[in-house]
Amino acid sequence: MSLKSTENRWGSVARMLHWLMALAIIGNGIVGLVMDEMPRGMSKLNTFAIHKSIGLTVLALLVLRASWRLFDRKPDDEPMPRWQRLAAHATHGVLYLLMLAIPLSGWIYNSAHGYALQWFKLFNLPALSEKNDALSDFAGDTHEILFWVLAVVLVAHVGGALVHHLFERDNTLLRMLPFARLRPKNKGDQP
């Protein structure tokens, strides 16, 4: 199994980062929604701390993933109409922007609100701004709205992957999955 991507499939680093981040982002979104409804108290504070630490981890993984992507190649697109290719690329671009903007808006919200910030109680991170109520409100609203934008874009992203897998019967999904055997492209091709 190759670390780097080839013309036919994503390498193991790109695949591992994709699924690790997908799990962390979706999981952290659920934690965010749940913690918002929790009664005040220690467990709410602890859940906030875990939410922020997972979010910061996503930010660090994004830096790693974007750097790897510059160094790695992208597999060639599976055959598909031009509009679909453009839509898929645009969706991926928006997903990268959201993976940056959601944790950053959370960090700005946290800073402008005057909360301290730690990564899993191991070390402190600096505030990105002075205490500022207007900025805190804006960043908090942005954080929540961008999360719902992500949820909508993800429906299109996952829907697209499933349509390719189930109806086009191509390798779009399989080449991103760990341990999956690729479908032969044409009769006689090696998988």
Residues that bind ligand HEM (CB under 6 A): 18, 22, 25-26, 28-29, 32-33, 36, 48, 51-52, 55-56, 58, 69, 74-75, 88, 92, 95-96, 99, 102-103, 106-107, 109-110, 117, 140, 143-144, 147, 154, 157-158, 161, 172-173, 175-176
Q: Enumerate residues 6+ apart whose C-beta is below 8 A from 36.
A: none
Tokens standing for 83? 């509009």
Phi-psi region of 37 (alpha: psi -120 to 50; beta: other; left: phi over 0): alpha
Instruction: Write down the least CB distance from residue 151 to ligand HEM, Å.
Output: 9
Instruction: Write down the least CB distance from residue 138 to ligand HEM, Å.
Output: 13
**Nearest Cα to 163, choosing from 75, 88, 74?**
88
Taking the C-alpha atoms of residue 22 and residue 128, their distance in angstroms, rounded to an integer, is 26
Instruction: Write down the least CB distance from residue 131 to ligand HEM, Å.
Output: 14
Nearer of residues 9 and 188 to ligand HEM, judged by Cβ: 9
Other CB atoms within 10 A of residue 107 CB: 22
Nearer of residues 36 and 188 to ligand HEM, judged by Cβ: 36
